[in-house]
């Protein structure tokens, strides 16, 4: 009997408790707790931005791809890791850039979709009651919708033919609008470019009335979506879509009728007094409508940052084309934007680098996404293209941007004998103004223009790429084609 008791005791000591088999991590949150507090909801809102801020996407590389694909930049290095194949138009379905950008943008899309679904289901279930207000619910939803629109728009920039080619009849990208957390639903066909535009505008139009008017700090106004951010972005989308009337309508919402130009309601976005001031701490002037923030402890990562690609100290930076006809060659020596250039040497020759990103040691310069000057130029271009005539208003808007940096470069109506002359001047102005901000390739695509030839000292030469050439846009990545059975290549 005693023995039996002792035997039993051994096993009692061990017990049959299986509580210890249910352990949860201390450094990650279970998905059921993700909406438990207001801070966590806000954390997830910021998380959507953070996923877009990936070094492979808006943290730097997306802008760099759109710069170096086009004609203004030449590489110091032929390292494939630092976008050499993007520069010389030799990317294939398995090239890192092609795979990594696709993955990063869609990771952000899924993060956004997961948040949207969670936010809506928790809101409907009432579990957020008392944690966030109706206004906050609306605001968060508008931010999510806007961010998703930006993601899809950016995907179209490299992986699809421009809308302009055939009114969006070309294949776009798969529209993922639901949260993905399981191994299901790998297959999804591409929507047409026009269908993707429809979705982008649907998201933006839904977001606009829900959006917050303004935040309490300049930092939030620059780094979070508010009503004017949405409108600003819509000017870009409509311009790309060729809907110039709508672009004008959106532009008029945030560009005052007379100088000094600025938004009358919401965040008072407008031009900063000086061009150089935009690129210095705290990077949150009224002109920086939307930028990705970085801090010493939150960096884009080497070989991702804009500084890595634009700062002369980097061995893998890109320097400016200075040949006759280049953007550089058409800039006046007194132009503040040219003064901002820094110099370095490649093979013993002095070369110029875009000076917008001076923080090379730490690489914490903010990455710009949309600036007020673009809104003004979008508006001006929409007026001219929409009316097929150069107007004083359009010239005034162009001048406002131009003469801030180049006071003696004032245009008048007489400067433009034709609409084309204006549009050429506009394209050049944009090339100058947004150098190193990733708009140049978008502008070439939008206008269905040839990507000019270029030739570097040590990097070889690249022929011009005419519209219709297979390399005019990027291929669809092999990583998607391999798995998604409904996917088709470019």
Site for other proteins in 45-74 (CB under 8 A): 46-51, 53
For other proteins, what does the binding mask look like between residues 181 and 210, x meaning CB under 8 A?
A: xxx-xxxx----------------------
Smallest distance, other proteins to C-beta of residue 73, A: 20
CB 145 within 8 A of CB 208: no
Q: How far is the CB of 95 from other proteins (least distance, A)?
A: 12
Query: Which candidate, 406, 431, 411, places its Cα nearest to that of 421?
Result: 411
Report how far residue 29's alpha carbon sits from residue 25's, in angstroms, rounded to the nearest whole number: 7
**Residue 353 CB, nearest approach to other proteins (Å):** 17
Site for other proteins in 320-379 (CB under 8 A): 361-362
> What is the contact mask toward other proteins in residues 92 to 121, using x (rule: CB under 8 A)?
--x----x--xx--xxxxxx-xx-------
- Distance between CA 247 and CA 250 in Å, rounded? 5
Determine the Cα–Cα distance for residues 428 and 67; give it in Å rounded to an integer. 14
Please give the Cα distance from 303 to 420 (Å, whole number).
Answer: 39
Lay out the site mask for other proteins across 148-167 (x = CB under 8 A, - = otherwise).
--------------------
The yes or no reply on residue 127 touching other proteins (CB under 8 A) is no
Alpha carbons 91 and 169: distance in angstroms, whole number = 24
Closest to 355 (Cα-Cα) out of 442, 435, 456, 439: 435
How deeply is 66 buried, as exposed, middle or buried, from its count of CB atoms within 10 A (0-12, 13-18, 19+)? buried
Stretch that binds other proteins, among 12-20, 135-143, 238-246, 326-334 (CB under 8 A): 12-20
Q: Smallest distance from the beta carbon of 24 to other proteins, in angstroms?
A: 7
> Nearer Cβ to other proteins, position 70 or 114?
114
Name the one range near other proteins by CB under 8 A: 163-171, 266-274, 443-451, 481-489: 481-489
Per-residue tokens: 283? 């990077």
Q: Which residues on adjacent β-strands are paired with residue 462?
A: 454
How many residues comprise the chain?
490
Cβ of residue 23: shortest distance to other proteins, in angstroms? 5
> In this chain, which of 55, 162, 171, 174 binds other proteins, going by CB under 8 A?
174
Strands (E) in 266-339, as ranges, are 288-292, 318-320
> Of 6-14, 132-140, 243-251, 265-273, which part binds other proteins (CB under 8 A)?
6-14
CA-CA distance, 23 to 321, in Å (whole number)? 58
Q: Cβ of residue 181: shortest distance to other proteins, in angstroms? A: 5
CA 439 to chain centroid, in Å, comes to 10
Q: Which stretch binds other proteins (CB under 8 A): 9-17, 382-390, 392-400, 405-413?
A: 9-17
| Distance of alpha carbon 361 from alpha carbon 469, whole angstroms | 40
Site residue total, other proteins (CB under 8 A) = 76
Report CA-CA distances (Å) from 449 to 164, 241, 452, 466: 10, 15, 9, 7
Is residue 34 part of the contact set for other proteins (CB under 8 A)? yes
Site for other proteins in 280-319 (CB under 8 A): 292-298
78 contacts other proteins (rule: CB under 8 A)? no
Place of tokens 């008392």: 130
For other proteins, the binding residues in 251-280 under the rule CB under 8 A are none
**Taking the CA atoms of the chain, what radius of gyration do you get in angstroms?**
25
Q: Computed from CA positions of residues 297, 301, 302, 306, in that sequence, does the dihedral angle turn out positive or negative?
A: negative
Q: How far is the CB of 264 from other proteins (least distance, A)?
A: 28
Judged by CB under 8 A, the chain residues 131 through 150 that form the site for other proteins are: none
Residue placing its CB nearer to other proteins in the complex, 5 or 388: 5
Kindly tell me which residue out of 22, 258, 408, 417 binds other proteins, with binding defined by CB under 8 A: 22
Residue 454 per-residue DSSP state: E
């Amino acid at each position: 009997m005693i023995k039996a008791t002792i035997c039993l005791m051994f096993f009692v000591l061990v017990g049959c408790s299986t509580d210890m088999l249910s352990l949860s991590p201390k450094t990650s949150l279970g998905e059921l707790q993700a909406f438990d507090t207001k801070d966590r909801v806000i954390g997830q809102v910021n998380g959507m931005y953070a996923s877009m801020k990936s070094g492979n996407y808006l943290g730097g590389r997306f802008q760099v791809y759109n710069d170096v694909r086009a004609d203004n930049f030449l590489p110091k290095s032929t390292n494939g890791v630092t976008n050499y194949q993007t520069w010389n138009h030799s990317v294939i379905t398995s090239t890192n850039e092609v795979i990594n950008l696709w993955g990063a943008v869609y990771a952000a899309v899924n993060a956004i979709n997961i948040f949207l679904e969670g936010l809506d289901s928790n809101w409907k279930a009432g579990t957020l009651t008392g944690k966030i207000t109706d206004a906050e619910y609306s605001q968060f939803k508008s931010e999510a919708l806007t961010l998703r629109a930006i993601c899809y728009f950016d995907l179209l920039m490299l992986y699809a033919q421009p809308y302009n080619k055939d009114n969006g009849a070309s294949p776009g990208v798969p529209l993922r609008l639901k949260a993905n957390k399981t191994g299901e639903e790998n297959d999804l066909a591409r929507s047409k470019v026009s269908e993707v535009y429809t979705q982008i505008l649907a998201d933006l139009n839904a977001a606009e009335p829900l959006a917050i008017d303004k935040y309490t700090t300049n930092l939030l106004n620059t780094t979070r979506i508010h009503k004017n951010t949405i409108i600003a972005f819509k000017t870009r989308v409509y311009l790309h879509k060729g809907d110039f009337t709508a672009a004008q309508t959106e532009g008029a919402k945030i560009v005052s009728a007379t100088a000094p130009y600025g938004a009358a309601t919401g965040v008072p976005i407008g031009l900063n007094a000086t061009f150089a001031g935009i690129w210095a701490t705290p990077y949150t002037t009224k002109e920086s409508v939307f930028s990705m923030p970085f801090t010493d402890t939150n960096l884009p990562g080497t070989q991702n940052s804009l500084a890595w690609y634009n700062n002369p100290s980097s061995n893998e930076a890109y320097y400016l084309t200075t040949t006759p006809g280049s953007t550089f060659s058409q800039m006046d020596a007194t132009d503040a934007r040219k003064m901002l250039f820094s110099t370095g040497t490649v093979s013993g020759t002095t070369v110029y680098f875009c000076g917008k990103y001076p923080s090379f040691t730490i690489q914490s310069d903010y990455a710009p996404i949309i600036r007020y000057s673009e809104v003004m130029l979008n508006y001006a271009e929409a007026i001219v293209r929409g009316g097929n005539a150069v107007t004083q208003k359009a010239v005034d808007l162009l001048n406002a941007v131009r003469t801030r940096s180049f006071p003696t470069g004032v245009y008048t109506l007489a400067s433009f004998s034709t609409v084309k002359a204006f549009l050429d001047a506009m394209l050049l102005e944009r090339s100058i103004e947004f150098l190193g901000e990733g708009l140049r390739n978008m502008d070439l695509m939008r206008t269905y223009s040839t990507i000019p030839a270029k030739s570097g000292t040590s990097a070889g030469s690249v022929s011009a790429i005419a519209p219709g050439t297979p390399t005019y846009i990027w291929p669809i990545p092999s990583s998607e084609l391999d798995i998604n059975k409904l996917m088709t290549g470019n």
